[in-house]
Amino acid sequence: MDARRIIAKLRDGHTPSREELAWFAMGLADGNVTDAQAGAFAMAALLNGLGEEGRVALTLAMRDSGQTLQWQLDGPAIDKHSTGGIGDCVSLVLAPALAACGAYRADDLRPRAGPYRRHPRQDGGDPGPCHPA
pLDDT, tens only, 79-92: 766 655 666 677 77
Q: 3-class SS at 105?
A: strand
Please check whether residue 28 is in contact with residue 17, taking contact to mean a CB–CB distance below 8 angstroms: no
Q: Is 57's pLDDT higher than 50?
A: yes
Question: Of the ranges 21-30, 102-111, 112-121, which one carries the lowest mean pLDDT score?
Answer: 112-121
Residues carrying CATH 1.20.970.10, the chain = 3-64
pLDDT, mean over the chain:
80
| pLDDT tens digits, 22-52 | 999 999 999 999 999 999 999 999 999 999 9
Residue 93: CB atoms within 10 Å: 9
Give the fold, CATH level 3, of 3-64. Answer: 1.20.970
CA angle 31, 83, 64 (to 5 degrees): 40
Q: Is 99 helix (H, G, I), strand (E, B) or coil?
A: helix
Identify the pLDDT of residue 110.
58
Radius of gyration of the chain measured on its C-alpha atoms: 19
- Within 10 angstroms of residue 47's Cβ, the number of other Cβ atoms is 10
Would the pTM count as exceeding 0.75? no
Sign of CA dihedral 10, 14, 6, 17: positive
